[in-house]
Amino acid sequence: MRLEKCWFCSSTVYPGHGIQFVRNDAKIFHFCRSKCHKNFKMKRNPRKVKWTKAYRRLHGKDMTQDSTFEFERKRNRPERYDRNLAENTLKAIKKIDKIRSDRASDHIKNRLKTGKVQRQKEARKQLELGIHLVKAPLALAQDSSLCLLKIKVNVSQAQTEENQPMEE
């Protein structure tokens, strides 16, 4: 029993899910769900379809090269069973997973950092330019802090009387 990777979106296909397609040249395609299968039949290139892992990796959205990927490789030679080795492997898998996901999220964070900086700059500029809409320059000159006056609107009696019938 093996977990396969969906050919289109690269998510894992668990046993009992999805479809396997064998082409005439004996190449096997696994699909995790009918969405991927239908996209494949439409001959769409996963590298151009935004939500797939292939696209994300190609366009640098996700982490591509890392030493944690070296741990998971399909080995074709069976190893003789060793309980200690099995134990260690199971523990290692968890740790490797954690490290890998940390690194991936860091990668994304770094990627988004430049955008953040830019946005902050823009915000600062906007504040500078548009402060006259919120606080009159005269008032600003007198009191250079940016605290704004909160206006309290007094709702008169007549209006409340009018409102009630409408609510009913």
Partner 1 sequence: MVQYNFKKITVVPNGKDFIDIILSRTQRQTPTVVHKGYAISRLRQFYMRKVKYTQQNFHEKLSTIIDEFPRLDDIHPFYGDLLHVLYNKDHYKLALGQINTARNLISKIAKDYVKLLKYGDSLYRCKSLKVAALGRMCTVIKRIGPSLAYLEQIRQHMARLPSIDPNTRTMLICGYPNVGKSSFMNKITRADVDVQPYAFTTKSLFVGHTDYKYLRYQVIDTPGILDRPFEDRNIIEMCSITALAHLRAAVLFFLDISGSCGYSIAQQAALFHSIKSLFMNKPLIIVCNKTDLQPLDGISEEDRKLVMEMKAEAMKTVIGQGGEPTNEEGVLLTMSTLTEDGVIAVKNAACERLLNQRVELKMKSKKINDCLNRFHVALPKARDQKERPACIPQAVLEAKAKQAAEKEKRKTEKELEDENGGAGVYSASLRKNYILANDEWKEDTMPEILDGHNVYDFIDPDILLRLEELEREEGLRQAEEEGDDFEMDGQELSLEEQEALAEIRKKKSLLIQQHRMKKSTAESRPVVPRKFDTDRKFTTRRMGRQLSSLGLDPSLAISRARSKSRGRKRERSVDKREGDGRDAMDIDDNQASKKLRLRSTSRSRSLSRPPGEVIPGEGLKDSAQKIKAIKLAKKSVLKRNKNARRGEADRVIPTLKPKHLFSGKRSIGKTQRR
Which one, 51 or 81, has the nearer CB to partner 1?
81
Structure tokens at 139: 């008032």
Q: Which of 54, 58, 99, 108 binds partner 1 (CB under 8 A)?
A: 99
Which one, 47 or 91, has the nearer CB to partner 1?
91
Q: Report the chain's C-alpha Rg in angstroms.
A: 30
The residues facing 4 across adjacent strands are 13
Q: Which of 12, 20, 34, 45 binds partner 1 (CB under 8 A)?
A: 12
The three-class DSSP label of residue 17 is coil
Task: Build a one-symbol-per-residue string for 43-82: x at contacts with partner 1 by CB under 8 A, - elsewhere.
Answer: ------------------------xx--xxxxx---xxxx
Q: 13 CB contacts (<8 Å, ≥6 apart)?
A: 3, 4, 5, 6, 30, 31, 32
Minimum gap (Å) between residue 85 Cβ and partner 1: 7
User: Should residue 86 be labelled a site residue for partner 1 when binding is judged by CB under 8 A?
Assistant: yes
Q: How many residues bind partner 1 (CB under 8 A)?
A: 57
Residue 34: Cβ within 10 Å count: 11
Q: Which of 17, 123, 162, 163 binds partner 1 (CB under 8 A)?
A: 123
CA 151 → CA 126, 145, 148, 154, distances in Å? 23, 18, 9, 10
- Strand spans (E) along 45-167: none
Minimum gap (Å) between residue 136 Cβ and partner 1: 4
Q: 66 CB contacts (<8 Å, ≥6 apart)?
A: 100, 103
Q: Which of 16, 115, 130, 165 binds partner 1 (CB under 8 A)?
A: 130
Residues within the interface to partner 1 (CB under 8 A): 1-3, 12, 67-68, 71-75, 79-83, 85-86, 88-90, 92-97, 99, 102-103, 106, 113, 116-117, 120-121, 123-124, 126-127, 130-131, 133-136, 138-140, 143, 145-149, 151, 153
